[in-house]
Amino acid sequence: MSGSPPPTGGFVRRVGQFQATAINMSQMCGIGPFVTIPLMVAAFGGPQAVIGFLAGALLALCDGLVWAELGASMPGSGGSYVYLRQAFQYRTGRLVPFLFVWTAMLFIPLIMSTGVVGFVQYLGYLAPGLGRTSGDLIGLGVIALVVVLLWRGIEHIARITAVMWTVMIASVVLVIAAAATDFSPHRAFTYPAGAFDLTSDHFWLGFAAGLTIGIYDYLGYNTTAYMGAEIKDPGRVLPRSIVFSILGIMAIYLLLQIGTLGVVDWHRMADPHDVASTSVASAVLEETWGRGAADVVTVLILVTAFASVFTGLLGGSRVPYDAARDRVFFRPYEKLHPRHRFPTLGLATMGVITAVGFLIGRHTDLATLIQLLTTVMVLVQALAQIVALTVLRGRRPEMPRPYRMWLYPVPSVLAFAGWCVIYAYADKNSPGRHPVEWSLAWLALGCVAFLLWARLEKVWPFGAKEISEEYTVVAVS
């Protein structure tokens, strides 16, 4: 982890630049834009919904630069856990990294569960008679299959991911190409009255909802940061994989969003009884190239959705491993598979939580699930990590930084402001669901769990603080 050869029985650096970027892009794209375009249109009330994707891209890029500097400086497994541990150990011991792992074990699999919900939605286009119970069983089967496929060595997973990334690109390109053949500028760029009224509360409420949906669509740009101990030459590969994947997906999303709005009337997307509200990409293909082409692309979208869940659980399952190894989480999570060297309990636990989240999303609605998972991750990951970057620059100026944030601290300030907007408007955008209250309750429960754990382990506040300043040498391939 500090540049020396990996310890016996630890991770091996086998993931290169193309595979790292493919892992991020597969997780970012996935089923997200294919199910959230109608949600974005409903939030803004018209085709001006493209603003949401632009705002999400800006927030993702600013936040991605935070991840890039931290990941290049501290390329260990666990992502945010590693960064928070190093930054906040001086004042609060292991509290902040413990709380991160506590929340990550919830929000990472919830993100994966939205992909499975989208998978079942698009499957409903191919099988219109698919009932709720049948859909639930199929979704649970998909999650089980993902876990089985991940139960192997990282070198095999990297090759599988590259293939699925190719399928993802093909599905998106086909939808964009189909939209271009029957694109109507009038349909795409005719906005309702007051669409850009910046003095209206309705605009800012829609903007906050759109920003939440937009950043959800870009989530995954940090997947390789969770796999820092498995990335070749992480000082170069990791920042590039983050920036390249964000810029690539941004271009894809804009073409996809504008192209879709130019083919399918936005009123159809807002109608819950119309197929365009649940399978908008299939509706685009049906309108342009016919039902047969729509069926083929729908199958590709299903593969894309599967790929996003696959790569998400791949990276997320590494989070509790590093924490447990450093005695900041439950010790059984530090065990690796004796042959394939992956964290078995982390993968199994997140698979189960993904299944639970999938059932919650199926029996409520996708927009609510997105709002809940986004709100949960704001405090302990997004905002805390931005603060951690500033803290480490002040406390650890000697730490090698192969990549330093461009225009520091402007991206940090913009990212912090964006996440605050998402959190501040969460309750208004989910009336009756109380995502802010639920996130605070989960955080409070995590504090109680930490105190109980700290008492057993005899660490701060029931023991001395243990300061460990690692990463004094850049990790190399």
Distance CA 256, CA 177 (A): 9
* Helix-strand-coil split of the chain, %, nearest 5: 75, 0, 25
pLDDT of 40 reads 92
Q: What angle do CA 327, 333, 336 make, to 5 degrees?
A: 115
pLDDT of 470 reads 74
- How many CB atoms sit inside 10 A of residue 413's CB? 12
Q: What is the pLDDT of residues 285-321, one digit of tens each?
A: 999 999 999 999 999 889 888 887 887 787 777 778 8
343 forms beta bridges with 336
In angstroms, the Cα distances linking 194 to 49, 55, 203 are: 13, 19, 9
Predicted confidence band at 157 (pLDDT cuts at 50, 70, 90)? low
- Of 343-352, 415-424, 439-448, the least confident: 343-352
Domain 17-79+109-365 has CATH 1.20.1740.10: yes
- Tell me if 329 sits within 8 A of 101, measured CB to CB: yes
Mean pLDDT, residues 208-212? 93
* Mean of per-residue pLDDT scores for the chain: 86
What percent of the chain stands above pLDDT 70?
93
DSSP 364: S
pLDDT of 78 reads 65
Q: What is the pLDDT of residues 242-290, one digit of tens each?
A: 999 999 889 988 999 999 999 999 999 988 888 898 899 999 999 999 9
Instruction: Supply the DSSP string of 48-82, one letter for each residue.
Output: GGHHHHHHHHHHHHHHHHHHHHHHHH---BTTHHH
Mean pLDDT, residues 142-164? 75
Q: What is the pTM of this model?
A: 0.85
111 forms beta bridges with none
Distance CA 25, CA 251 (A): 12
231 forms beta bridges with 15
User: How many Cα atoms within 13 Å fall on the side-chain side of residue 36?
Assistant: 31
Distance CA 107, CA 220 (A): 12
Residue whose pair of structure tokens reads 């130019």 in the numeric block: 262
Distance CA 367, CA 361 (A): 9
Whether the pLDDT of residue 468 is over 70: the answer is yes
In angstroms, the Cα distances linking 223 to 80, 124, 313, 344 are: 11, 29, 9, 18
Tokens of 281: 């990409």
Distance CA 98, CA 330 (A): 10
DSSP 336: B
Predicted confidence band at 6 (pLDDT cuts at 50, 70, 90)? very low
- Tell me if 380 sits within 8 A of 92, measured CB to CB: no
Whether the pLDDT of residue 474 is over 60: the answer is no
Helix axes 154-181, 132-150, angle to 10 degrees: 130
pLDDT of 96 reads 92
pLDDT of 2 reads 33
pLDDT of 245 reads 93
Predicted confidence band at 408 (pLDDT cuts at 50, 70, 90)? very high
Whether the pLDDT of residue 472 is over 80: the answer is no
Whether the pLDDT of residue 8 is over 60: the answer is no
Whether the pLDDT of residue 205 is over 60: the answer is yes
Length of the chain in residues, anyone? Answer: 477
Surface-to-core class of residue 114, CB atoms within 10 Å of its CB (0-12 exposed, 13-18 middle, 19+ buried) = buried
pLDDT of 103 reads 92
Tokens of 108: 């990472």
pLDDT of 156 reads 58
431 by DSSP, 3-state: which? coil
Tokens of 219: 């989530």
pLDDT of 415 reads 97
